[in-house]
Structure 1
Amino acid sequence: MTNTDHPAPECPARVCLSDPSFAADPHRVYAALREQAPVARVDLAPGVPATLVLDHRTALSVLHDPATFRKDSRRWLQHAPTDSPLVPMMSYRENVLFQDGPEHERLRQAITDSFRRVDSITLRGHVTESAEALIGEFATSGRADLLTQYARRLPVLVLNRLFGSPAELTDRMVTAITALWDGTDVEQANDELARCMVELIAVKRHAPAADITSWLLAHPAGLTDEEMLHQLIVLVGAGAEPMQNLIANALRLWLADERFAGDLSGGRLPVEDALDEVLWQDPPLANYAITYPVDDVELAGYHLPADEPVVISFAAANTGLAGDFTRRDGNRAHLAWSAGDHMCPARSPARLIASVAIETILDSLPDMELAVPAVELEWRPGPFHRALRALPVRFPIRDADSHGDVTPWNSRPVRTP
């Protein structure tokens, strides 16, 4: 990977990652593209060209070379189509996601230190309590959409606790973030998200507590209110949409694949196996880690233009590795959390939340099954996420037993800060 004065070929192929046909079967597209080259020309959306990295080794070379592949998108924005729904998602902000060098290190240290203060036992309790309360809302109906009624709502309740956010405020945040991921009403969603963060910062400045927002405000890095606003946007964004997709995708695998559905023993290992397989095969962020070459560059023998987005396909890079060992037996060398300086700083809490969420609903509703054939489940279009539209299930209706004991799913009310 070097700057080059001699001509290099352009990346082959061209697909649009926002097209519904891509969402329906991305692995077929990845395989076809990877047969031609380790990188491919794609459109993230109409009028938004990019290079998609499909190969694990090539992906690591990009992720570990911040001098060549920068996170700052401002030069790209000078030429980006202003009417594209992706622009708000890719617009430069003063948060850790768009920074390089010492400034990135300063912001990341504040985030890492704050997440280290999250007690895993306390977090497990928060997730369990919130999960049981949500299950109690639909357990007597015999049917549910696990995406909208469980996987989407559970991260909201957990974020309430972690960030010390009032419930109404976090609901507004997640609604705005979902609109940004989907590319709908993006300008309004962007403005609403900023308003929410300003309100949260004001609450925590006035009444700090044992939560991530307060810890960030008190960190020696000395984050300003403007910096706080942008860090909270990226942290809540990473804790909402991707987390709901991780939970939903793992539940889909469990319910659709007989290897898991036939092994309901109440133990923890099968759930961990399901999570590992999803992180390898259908990670919640399938294509991300966007960077921008500072100059024209040659990557894997192909020419990449300066300032044009380079996107890592975590899903393609993972599945391109040979052998079933990549998805089983605890092997976690996948790229679902990214790699290098921008590797996810909250991967341990995120995995814990997903694991407890899945364990709790499987223990509470052990006879749950998909309400439609797995092949009929639909995926939401979008260049970055791997996200279901719905996850309908059915199960025998449960109630208090004849002795008046209370079943786990209806034992606690929903609690918010």
Structure 2
Amino acid sequence: MESQQPAAPVAVPSRCPLYGQDFAADPHGVYDKLRAAGPAAPVELVPGVDATLVVDYRAARSVLQNTRDFGRDSRHWKALAEGRIAPDNPAVPMMARRGNVMFSDGAVHLRLRKAVTESLDRLNVRRIRRDVEPIAAHLIDQFSERGRADLLNDYAKLLPLLLFNSLFGCPPGIGDQFTRCMSAMFEGRDAVRANEELTACLMELVALKRREPGDDVTSWLIQHPAGLTDQELIDQLALLMGTGVEPERNLIGSALLLLLSRGSSGRGAGMLIDEALDHVLWNNPPIANYATHYPLRDIDLGGVHVEADTPLVISFGGANNDPTLRAARQSLSKGAHLAWGAGSHACPAKSPATVIAQTAIEAILNALPDLVLDVPEEELQWRPGPFHRALATLPVRFTPTPGTRVAALAGTRGEADAAQRTHVPAAPAVPPPVPPQVAKQAKKGLWSTFLDIFRV
């Protein structure tokens, strides 16, 4: 009898790429292969940027909660500090340090975290809903008569951009510039320049709100007892407004896909909106790989050697779907997933983000109750990129509906009442100074167009 040869080990590439369409099409297949190397494995985030990706649930939670051995300040990133990563590398805007709560440790982190969480805590459910609803109605009116739409680019992408302009008190010119810069950064269009323009835009917003405070997050951060400097304010705003837009878009889009897939795959049959959101957060979290940590010394992570001062990236998508966790998931609480992070750096905007997504999805399903996918689900494309899990498009069809909801809303309220309901500031008698790059834009932007609806 021939002796049976042992099974060959699963081949794992020396540096598995997390960019390109192959990874976007099947990230879970990649995570499964990486697990053959242990709880973490070497990856290439974008060309030239190496990291170690944690795909094991217990290891990921352990790193997230360990502030003794791991730091979040990317000044520890040896390759960047030594000039081996080019400043214009597309990963740099997402990973290079800003003086905000995400990239800070110790006492600085505690001080900034207190200012951020206490400011966001002032956004109650009622306030968020009354800001989301008119924006949702406005966007739906733009395509409701067509009978077809792309719910990603016509709705889920635009709603967070407009909403954050409202919540953070952006006047038209600054809001339009913020919208353009954020779209360019996330789409990889001249990200370095967009980042510079975004900083200038936020400088103008902080200066305006110091002169004219309002009922908005920017003003609350300025007024907080922590006494944030202008630069600290700009850095917190860049984090809150920037990281809030892309994940919110992806959460809304993926949950809508799940709810609309009931007719094809049957996965969303009978699901409630909060169940669909929970399913997405467990299985396809909007931020798939992020929360970069830097080991403060060489670390052995479950048998995997991780060198000091190198990026250790948490795979929320991989860790949540760790096969060793599947048997226990039924007994775990709904919030046991890692989509919001864990430990002292857990996402401070969990509650607002959930309410925004719930309200946006309710609005579109109530307005267009016969929504169906316009292409087979398996033909949908996912956007490439190492950090997110994001649909490229979500084409749907429905019975055409006259676009009258926003017109009715604006027509039944005076300008002051509409501004109060949406927390849109009335146009000042003397417009505030506008950054030069904003002044050059003759054409009205998305935010200005929306505000016009609530003005006589």
Could you tell me the TM-score, scaled by structure 1's length? 0.90
1:279 corresponds to: 281
2:346 corresponds to: 343
CA distance in 2, matches of 1:195, 1:328: 48
Alpha-carbon spacing, 1:232–1:127, altered in 2? closer, same or farther (3 Å):
same
Amino acid at match of 1:67: R
Q: Which moved more, 1:44-53 or 1:169-178?
A: 169-178
| 8 A contact 1:177–1:237 mirrored in 2 | yes
Give matches, 1:371-382, under 5 Å: 371-382=374-385
Deviations 1:351-401 (A, max 9, x none): 00001101110111111111111111111111101111111111111238x
2:31 corresponds to: 30
1:69 corresponds to: 70
What secondary structure is seen at the aligned counterpart in 2 of 1:344? coil
| 8 A contact 2:185–2:195 mirrored in 1 | yes
Q: Which moved more, 1:315-324 or 1:46-55?
A: 315-324
| 8 A contact 1:135–1:410 mirrored in 2 | no
Amino acid at match of 2:85: P
| 8 A contact 1:277–1:327 mirrored in 2 | no
Please say if 1:81 is aligned against 2:85.
yes
Q: Which moved more, 1:85-94 or 1:305-314?
A: 85-94
1:40 corresponds to: 41
CA drift of 1:329 comes to: 9.6
Give matches, 1:213-252, under 5 Å: 213-252=218-257
| 8 A contact 1:85–1:183 mirrored in 2 | yes
Provide structure 2 residue ranges, at least 5 long, that are not aligned to the other structure.
Answer: 1-11, 411-449
CA drift of 1:190 comes to: 1.1
CA distance in 1, matches of 2:235, 2:254: 28
CA drift of 1:168 comes to: 3.8
CA drift of 1:36 comes to: 3.4
Please say if 1:189 is aligned against 2:194.
yes
What secondary structure is seen at the aligned counterpart in 2 of 1:412? helix
CA distance in 1, matches of 2:190, 2:45: 18
Provide structure 1 residue ranges, at least 5 long, that are not aligned to the other structure.
Answer: 1-10, 264-268, 401-405
| 8 A contact 1:174–1:240 mirrored in 2 | no
CA distance in 2, matches of 1:110, 1:84: 31
2:50 corresponds to: 49
Amino acid at match of 1:108: R
Picking from 146, 155, 162, the partner of 1:150 is: 155
CA distance in 2, matches of 1:112, 1:157: 22
| 8 A contact 2:282–2:320 mirrored in 1 | yes
Amino acid at match of 1:81: I
1:311 corresponds to: 313
Alpha-carbon spacing, 1:411–1:32, altered in 2? closer, same or farther (3 Å):
farther
CA drift of 1:410 comes to: 6.0
What secondary structure is seen at the aligned counterpart in 2 of 1:380? coil
Alpha-carbon spacing, 1:325–1:354, altered in 2? closer, same or farther (3 Å):
farther
What secondary structure is seen at the aligned counterpart in 2 of 1:220? coil
| 8 A contact 2:136–2:363 mirrored in 1 | yes
CA drift of 1:33 comes to: 1.4
CA drift of 1:169 comes to: 2.1
Amino acid at match of 1:307: D
Alpha-carbon spacing, 1:27–1:171, altered in 2? closer, same or farther (3 Å):
farther
What secondary structure is seen at the aligned counterpart in 1 of 2:51? strand
| 8 A contact 2:284–2:317 mirrored in 1 | yes
Give matches, 1:57-206, under 5 Å: 57-76=58-77, 77-79=80-82, 80-82=84-86, 83-206=88-211
Alpha-carbon spacing, 1:410–1:135, altered in 2? closer, same or farther (3 Å):
farther
CA drift of 1:13 comes to: 4.5
Amino acid at match of 1:412: L
Q: Which moved more, 1:71-80 or 1:353-362?
A: 71-80
Please say if 1:412 is aligned against 2:417.
no
CA distance in 2, matches of 1:257, 1:323: 23
CA distance in 2, matches of 1:327, 1:20: 33
Amino acid at match of 2:251: L
Indicate the percent of aligned positions where both proteins have the same amino acid: 48
CA distance in 2, matches of 1:91, 1:212: 24
CA distance in 1, matches of 2:291, 2:328: 25
Between the two proteins, the alignment pairs up a number of residues equal to: 396
CA distance in 1, matches of 2:189, 2:451: 31
CA distance in 2, matches of 1:141, 1:114: 40
CA drift of 1:260 comes to: 6.0
CA drift of 1:298 comes to: 1.0
What secondary structure is seen at the aligned counterpart in 2 of 1:161? helix
CA drift of 1:241 comes to: 1.0
Alpha-carbon spacing, 1:140–1:210, altered in 2? closer, same or farther (3 Å):
same
Alpha-carbon spacing, 1:353–1:52, altered in 2? closer, same or farther (3 Å):
same
Q: Which moved more, 1:33-42 or 1:359-368?
A: 33-42
1:403 corresponds to: none
CA drift of 1:324 comes to: 7.4
Deviations 1:146-167 (A, max 9, x none): 1111111111221122111124
Amino acid at match of 1:23: A
Q: Which moved more, 1:52-61 or 1:182-191?
A: 182-191
Q: Which moved more, 1:369-378 or 1:212-221?
A: 369-378
CA distance in 2, matches of 1:235, 1:220: 19
